[in-house]
Amino acid sequence: MTATKLMPIPGHIDPVPVPRPDLVEGITPREDGRVDLIGLPKKRIAELFETAGLDAKAAKLRAKQVFHWLYHRGVTDFEAMTDIAKTMRPWLAERFVIGRPEIVEAQHSSDGTRKWLLRTADGHDFEMVFIPDADRGTLCVSSQVGCTLNCRFCHTGTMRLVRNLTAGEIVGQVMLARDSLGEWPKSGQADLAALDDDLVDEDGGYSADGRLLTNIVMMGMGEPLYNFDNVRDALKLVMDGDGLALSKRRITLSTSGVVPKMERCAEEIGVNLAVSLHAVTKDVRDEIVPINKKYGIEELLQACADYKGASNARRITFEYVMLKDKNDSDEDARELVRLIKHYKLPAKVNLIPFNPWPGAPYECSTPERVKAFSNIVFEAGISAPVRTPRGRDIDAACGQLKTAAEKKSRAELERLYAEKEKALG
């Protein structure tokens, strides 16, 4: 019998014991003990640096530098942070990481729309879509993997809620898009842009000039107001002048009508609001947007009237999906006008032709019907453009997002919907 002696592995170095910064409340390090900095505000980064051994003044200064590199320059490697001492960079890399969601698949539509299938570090898939237009480029960002709600025309509604995305995973989508579009300012360019009035709008954010990604809509998978804190924290980083520096006027949050969170949305986030109205009578909205059974149309429209972030210059968008013989009559259009006027809402209406998905129980209204509906609203003095569906060929259009696209039977769907409605109470 030969005795096996454990040989030291050549070149093997024991891992440096890193002080785990989990003393900072609410921050969970990754399995390797390092902390992902993406998603954290500057103040939290400074706290982490202090816990890891820097004195308070140095921690604050380093946090400011690192924050700038992360969000303004988009670097993904501490080595690239050239104004941080060479010896300090490995110190950072041992303790921290600069995360991005993993890209599983990237698709390009014939109309220029791009869709990415992304994966969280713990293996959950979600989607993000970029829609280029002549004068703007809009990124459609997800807030949850799946959705707790069950709007009957929405493919995401046929998924269970897997989990909320973290602030890092939400802002990480914007950063990934900038990576993919090659949009991080090169050395010196960021500061030049900040000095050039033409490139900076009134809030200090970038204007459209020369940029592909100019607008963000929280209209991907999930209900953003059911993941309020993470969405708020992520959007703060997007709006931060030292961060991604996108103006709040260029960001829109869409809700299916989570009334109790709408006031906080105006106060704590302050972005433009879009509301998925989709119907003007209780019966129809109860059926197609079942959260209506909890927060009805009157309550929802009153919350819109009270929304502090809206004015004639910043109108609330009412989204209205056009479903054949369901919500698309002249009478529906007239009732929509009446409601908007009754609540004195600074409103515009977006008419969205229904985007089909396998097994969907509805059809899209005819183009003539959509036009007639639009005309009635328009003639009452309310803007009512018909949205051109984008990226349908790659299932990137509104309501088509759903990962792990297994088709559920009608009976399975009914069971799932009943379960969701029970949970909603």
- Residues with catalytic roles: 127, 398
Nearer to ligand SAH, 54 or 279 (CB): 279
- 205 and 221 in contact (C-beta within 8 Å)? no
- If the CB atoms of residues 157 and 168 are measured against ligand SAH, the closer one turns out to be 157
- Specify whether the backbone of 188 is left (phi greater than 0), alpha (psi in -120 to 50) or beta: left
- Residue 323 found at the interface with ligand SF4 (CB under 6 A): no
Scanning 143-151, 260-268, 302-310, 344-352 for contacts with ligand SF4 by CB under 6 A, the matching segment is 143-151
Which residue stretch of 61-69, 123-131, 151-159, 230-238 sits at the interface with ligand SF4 (rule: CB under 6 A)? 151-159
Give dist(CA 257, CA 276) in Å, integer: 7
What is the C-alpha to C-alpha distance for residues 265 and 252, in angstroms, rounded to an integer? 11
Site string for ligand SF4, 250-289 (x = CB under 6 A): ------x-------------------x-------------
Provide the token pair at 243. Answer: 């961060």
Residues 17, 252: Cα–Cα separation, whole Å: 44
Q: Detail the DSSP E strand segments found in 234-346.
A: 251-255, 272-276, 316-322
Near ligand SF4 by CB under 6 A, which window of 5-13, 152-160, 196-204, 332-340? 152-160
Q: Which residues pair with 255 in a beta bridge?
A: 275
Nearer Cβ to ligand SAH (173/254): 254
Query: Residue 218 pairs with which residues in a beta bridge?
Result: 253
Binding ligand SF4 (rule: CB under 6 A), the pick from 52, 70, 84, 151 is: 151
Least separation in angstroms between CB 227 and ligand SF4: 11
Which residue has the CB atom at the shortest distance from ligand SAH?
Answer: 399
Structure tokens of 104? 């599983």
Q: Footprint of ligand SAH on this chain (CB under 6 A)?
A: 151, 153-154, 219, 223, 254-256, 276, 319, 321, 352, 354-355, 398-399
User: Which of 99, 137, 222, 243 touches ligand SF4 (CB under 6 A)?
Assistant: 222
Integer CA distances (angstroms), 348 to 281, 316, 381, 389, in order: 19, 6, 10, 18
- DSSP state letters, 76-91: --GGG-TTS-TTHHHH
User: Shortest Cβ distance from residue 294 to ligand SF4 (Å)?
Assistant: 12
Residue 51 CA to residue 30 CA, distance in Å, equals: 16
CB of 112 to ligand SF4, least distance (A): 24
Contact residues for ligand SF4 (CB under 6 A)? 147, 149-151, 154, 156-157, 222-223, 256, 276
